[in-house]
Copies of this chain bind each other. A is one copy, B any other.
């Protein structure tokens, strides 16, 4: 089922070099993965647009309204949500250049609250964290993460914690961040999401 026989070249990054460095941002990799999932009819997951407050618009030209003053807003939710095998999934993705830990400040408090709500209402909530120094991307069940935050009292989460409690996503040339493989394990393996 997750064999992707019709994988197409277009999902491959043009920035790849021979040293295995991806050279693409986590966001690009996830967007390319989601495009792949969509085209292969595996799942329907999108990144939400960045919320922007528009202050003034120039309507001079009829065809294209030109926004001339606008500001970025703090997002109310996570960046990604969607539908997979009849389940609602929701996640936030972050990169960190930290070597020994990820600063908690890179995730907004209301994003964590949103993920908690998702769990409460029967959805699947997780984080995708990339340690750019090691070029490693981990998927972490939000319930596990939140339990950890309840125990520790700190402003960061250790790299070692992710190594132990997250699932490392093997790099795949076609499917950059194949996070649904891990979601599959959760659905099948008694994580309470069935």
Contacts and interface: CB of A to CB of B under 8 A. Distances in A.
A46 interface: yes
**A contacts with B: majority SS:** mixed
Given A71-B66, A72-B65, A86 B52 contact: no
A114 B86 CA distance: 15
Given A48-B48, A52-B70, A87 B88 contact: yes
A76 interface: yes
Interface residues of A, number: 40
Contacts of A52: 49-50, 52, 54, 67, 70
Contacts of A71: 64-67
A21 interface: no
Contacts of A51: 49
A180 interface: no
A100 to B, nearest CB: 28
